[in-house]
Amino acid sequence: MDRRTSLKLSAMVFLAFFLVAVGAFFGRNIGFLRSSNGQQLNLGPAVKPDIQVPQAVMNLQDAFANTADQLKPTVVNIATTQIIKQEYRPNEFFFGNPFDNFFDDFFNEPRPRQERPKPQKKYLERKMSGTGSGVIISTDGYILTNNHVIGGANEIEVTLSDERKFKGKIIGQDQKTDLAIIKIPAVNLPAAMLGDSDKIKVGDWSMAIGSPFGLEQTVTVGIISARRQSLMIEGQQYQEMIQTDAAINQGNSGGPLINIKGEVIGINTAIYTPTGGSVGVGFASPINKAKAILGQLIEKGKVTRGWLGVEIRAVDDAVAKQFGLKEAKGALLNNVLKDAPAERAGLKRGDIVIEFNGKPVKDVMSLQDLVAQTEPKKKVNVKVWRNNKEELFDLVISEMPTERKNELGETFSPKGSVGESSVSREWMGLKVKTLTNEMAAQLDIDSSEKGVVIVELTPDSKAESAGLQEQDVIRSINRQPVTTIKEFEKVTSTAKLGEGIVFDVNRHGRLIYLTIQEK
């Protein structure tokens, strides 16, 4: 090989190495990758996004991130252990002792019978574990959570955001609001700011923080979807709940619902879930409900509520029209319990409470809240609408009994069939007959009661839509007595659905008002 050929070969080798080096250097920028099996993939040049994000959007994103950063340390995981005792009986010979036959067969004599002692009850202990969330509300270790998270727990372990663990102690519980306070032996803790749930609006941003499925410090964001006045959840009645589409799952219970300012506006309580997971319908107890009872929970361990001793129902347009009110407001006394504060003060069934201790009563719920928040033995004044005018009464509130009979909303099942009478009339899908003493006895109604009894009711009729039932005794319609069929015909001939119809009904001894109106 001559010198020229050697130089040419060297140049070619150098060029090859140069090209390999350049390719290796620039390959990263032109998208060369290798797959798991070593094959080189060319994905093309990377494209840098050129998207102009409005500053308002970036500010909103920063607000969520900052709120989460500041509030996460105030949220804790609550793990509970409950010991359940189950009775069991040791295995016994159900057909006698097998040694009895042994004596019979081999010794030709029965074994002496001994009276067997009664077996003692024995129990198996089984541990059940649960998990939930809570929010620190004071720097010295008080934590707000749901009552159903810690109810019945024998052991409570609280895990902070920095993974420190403490044993929790139950300080106070309130089943009615499903709220509870526990305490841990720690100081200088970050505490959440409690906001004002009365100021929230549908469409406001909301953030839920908790431990869904045990996954601690989980943050979800949504909006306030609605405000629900009344909900029945697992057999318990909840009032004034906040509905949100921020994802809430099992384990979120007891954690805070937060507004975009970082203020706690509710305590996550329940979800609607046909699948077991979040479907965007979650409910939180308003924080103002908690603020109203925190002092009692911490100081007394329970909540003492005021009691008026009445059953109430809503004032709708029909009631307002027939009772002479200018607008549908207040709470109609459906019944006044005997020897209760209301009865002692002179309140009567049919009164409409429009003001309680100087505060206007907008509806049933506002009266319930005002009475419940009043300390027992406190003297208050109640303004009612009676006989087309206002009247003022003074009364002393009592403590709400632990067990209350004849609660509003209780239903009664029919007891026996109603006997026949000679004359009947039909109207709006119901057929009535004059109440007799025999009928009253069958319906558990006082013999002094007067009215007409419903003996037939057409399904899907106007009468059924008003809530009337067979065997109801109609005492009056639009405040006009209907003690006979003749009176019933006279009153119904002038009753107009457009103006609303109010029925005064005795249902197996229970007095209730029912209404219907078609606009």
Told to judge if 448 belongs to the known catalytic residues of this protein, a careful annotator would answer: no
Selection from 289, 337, 292, 339 nearest residue 312 by Cα? 337
Please classify residue 401 by burial: count the beta carbons closer than 10 Å to its beta carbon, then call 0-12 exposed, 13-18 middle and 19+ buried.
exposed
Strand partners, 223: 205
Please classify residue 64 by burial: count the beta carbons closer than 10 Å to its beta carbon, then call 0-12 exposed, 13-18 middle and 19+ buried.
middle
233 contact partners, CB below 8 Å, separation of at least 6: 269, 270, 283
Selection from 245, 369, 255 nearest residue 305 by Cα? 369
d(CA 70, CA 473): 61
Told to judge if 253 belongs to the known catalytic residues of this protein, a careful annotator would answer: yes
Q: Which residue has the tokens 């001894």?
A: 509
Q: Which residue has the tokens 């308002």?
A: 56
What does the DSSP assignment read for 104-144?
HHHHSSPPPP-PPPPPPPEEEEEEEEEEEEEEE-STTSEEE
Give SS3 for 98: helix
175 contact partners, CB below 8 Å, separation of at least 6: 147, 151, 236
Tell me how far the alpha carbon of residue 414 is from its chain's centroid. 30
Told to judge if 196 belongs to the known catalytic residues of this protein, a careful annotator would answer: no
d(CA 247, CA 229): 21
Residue tagged active-site, from 133, 174, 178, 278: 178
Query: Do 315 and 328 contact (CB within 8 A), yes or no?
Result: yes
Q: What share of the chain is helix, strand, coil (3-state, %, to 5)?
A: 25, 35, 40
d(CA 259, CA 257): 7
Strands 263-271, 193-194: pairing kind: parallel
- What are the Cα distances from residue 140, in Å, to 46, 105, 183, 209, 349? 54, 77, 8, 21, 49
Residue tagged active-site, from 206, 211, 253, 278: 253
- What are the Cα distances from residue 405, in Å, to 208, 230, 277, 313? 38, 21, 37, 17
d(CA 191, CA 372): 28
273 contact partners, CB below 8 Å, separation of at least 6: 279, 281
Report the amino acid identity of residue 52. Q
Active site members = 148, 178, 253
